Structure 1
Amino acid sequence: MDEESWAMSSLRITCAGLSSDQITARLGMPSTAHTDAYWAVNLVSDSSIAIDQQLTHVKDFFSCRLDDLQAIAETAGINLHLGWTPRHPQDGLALDADLVQLLASIKAYILIDVYID
């Protein structure tokens, strides 16, 4: 296994009740998705930042935009997509109580996706 670290954290919102443009206006960030079915953005642009450090950025993002995310959650599904290449021989991630509470308050689900060469 390669020792190089890779991680990504993205927010994805289904556009059931809102358009991608409406979500962009609420959150102040344009979608990087190439579809009208959902809005998506990488919350950390540098994939070399470790997953545990990315989770700090994720928590800050959710904290700063909680009211808007709660309003969006009334008509759209929200998910946090976490992907990373684990370090050899074992790796993991921890979601602290504050992040879990933020995710619960917007009824978000978490997709954890591990990539191994």
Structure 2
Amino acid sequence: MQAVLLETINGNITPTLSAMDRPELRPGHVRAAVRAAWINRADLLIRAAHPLLNNIAVIGAGGAEYMRADPSYPARQRTALESLLRAGKLIVAEPPVYPMERAADALRALDSRVASGKIVITLA
């Protein structure tokens, strides 16, 4: 089984991983209870998280450096993702939607990691 996770990154893991010097590792965000502990090498982070990572490629952060090394990478990735979307093999999770009256619940969901990535708060 192959899976693709598209998610934005917030928190301390971003500056740590974006400073790596091996673009071929393509580090990124893994949705798991892993604390980065200011590790500045992808291989150390992957070893620290190994029980949670079974044949998973960590992709995402540090993409700018990888794109400088391989300028055709974004177009190839976009084409591959579009193919997966059209074939129904990539499922994009819809963000949870909260009315303005439940904005506090929405923020609690983010804080407790019940919601990952983005949430939507409707104003009407």
* TM-score calculated relative to the size of structure 2: 0.25
More strand, by proportion: 1
Relative contact order, higher structure (CA 8 A, sep 6+): 1
Q: Which has the larger radius of gyration?
A: 2
More helix, by proportion: 2
